[in-house]
């Protein structure tokens, strides 16, 4: 069975591996700091830039995973709303059939049924996701933007958590490269890997979820090579919201490994303001143009998103190590 899975992964993702092998792709190191919340509370200088120069969404086709609820639904709605021409389209992928049907009905009433393509699929299933991408191209003739948003927070079901959060992100990104890269007969595009603040500073109450989020950030940084972007025309960047009012935050005590870990989560996040998914989505769409390949953006407390300076993170981490060893 394992051999069959490996063969399927290679068959589906061979085009992107061939792209990566043309030149070595270096990944930046990601440092973690226990006092990182203080650093994150400062806005990046990039916020002083003119944000009016947005990505033109006319005639663009986006794919949003986990799009039936929460941040994913809000992003799909924002993408359709921002295109005043009414020519953009969104494929909404979700594994919850009932929620998918309901969300697509609402989006259709607001923006037009012909602009939304609902597809029921499991993001951790390569065959289902490949079929979803293929159906999108057959329906809309292209793919321009991919929002890898699907994710779960449930350390009690850590095997599914790993599959959804890490496998789903990798599969969506590699397929995005395969379908959009200029070297694969595509026309370029944008991939946004949606993680969380737990990918930059650990949530001790949910260590397994934290591991998946650090993986999303590291994977995204590794694909941020300027050389890769020049060859493929596909920009990959990360977007890490803090606590957001979605179903993910419901019944957290039942989703932790045990009561001790649940108490740790309260200690880590007790002072954080829970933000609205609509604000998170608006910020994400607003970063589509200005975000650089491999950049990581943070959205917290309903404020404007800001870019995390990885070089400053490394510098701060180095200073902490020096102080600890004196």
Where in the sequence numbering do the catalytic residues fall? 209
Q: How many whole angstroms separate alpha carbon 166 and alpha carbon 261?
A: 22
Q: Which is nearest to 83 in space by CA: 107, 109, 59?
A: 59
Classify 28 as helix, strand or coil.
Answer: coil
- For the chain, the first-to-last Cα distance in angstroms comes to 52
Is residue 207 within 8 Å of 158, Cβ to Cβ? no
> How many residues appear in the chain?
326
| DSSP code at position 114 | G
Helix crossing, 126-140 with 168-180: angle to 10°?
40
Provide the b/e sequence for 289-311 (b: ≥16 CB within 10 Å): ebbebbbbbbbbeebebbbbbbe
* DSSP notation for 208-240: HHHHHHHHHHHHHHHT--HHHHHHH-EEEEEEE
CA atoms within 13 A on the CB side of 61: 20
């Amino acid at each position: 069975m394992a051999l069959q899975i490996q063969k399927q992964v290679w068959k589906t993702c061979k085009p992107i591996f061939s792209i990566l092998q043309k030149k070595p792709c270096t990944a930046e190191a990601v440092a973690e700091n226990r006092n990182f919340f203080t650093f994150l509370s400062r806005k990046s200088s990039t916020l002083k830039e003119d944000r009016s120069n947005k990505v033109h969404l006319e005639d663009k086709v986006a794919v949003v995973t986990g799009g039936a609820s929460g941040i994913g639904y809000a992003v799909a709605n924002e993408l359709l709303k921002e295109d005043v021409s009414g020519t953009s389209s969104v494929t909404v992928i979700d594994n919850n059939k009932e929620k998918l049907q309901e969300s697509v009905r609402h989006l259709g009433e607001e923006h037009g049924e012909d602009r939304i393509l609902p597809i029921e699929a499991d993001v951790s299933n390569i065959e289902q996701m490949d079929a979803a991408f293929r159906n999108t191209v057959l329906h809309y003739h292209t793919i321009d933007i991919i929002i890898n948003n699907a994710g779960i927070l449930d350390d009690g079901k850590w095997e599914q958590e790993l599959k959804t959060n890490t496998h789903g992100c990798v599969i969506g990104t590699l397929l995005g490269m395969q379908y959009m890269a200029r070297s694969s007969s595509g026309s370029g595009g944008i991939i946004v890997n949606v993680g969380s603040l737990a990918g930059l500073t650990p949530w001790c109450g949910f260590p397994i979820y934290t591991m998946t989020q650090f993986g999303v950030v590291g994977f995204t940084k590794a694909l941020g090579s300027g050389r890769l972007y020049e060859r493929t025309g596909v920009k990959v960047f990360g977007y890490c919201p803090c606590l957001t009012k979605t179903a993910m935050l419901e019944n957290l005590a039942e989703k932790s490994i045990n009561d001790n870990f649940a108490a740790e989560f309260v200690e880590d996040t007790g002072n954080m303001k829970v933000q609205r998914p609509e604000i998170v989505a608006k910020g994400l769409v607003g970063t589509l143009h200005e975000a650089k390949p491999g950049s990581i953006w943070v959205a917290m407390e309903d404020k404007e998103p800001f870019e995390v300076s990885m070089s400053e993170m490394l510098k701060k981490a180095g200073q902490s190590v020096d102080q600890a060893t004196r």
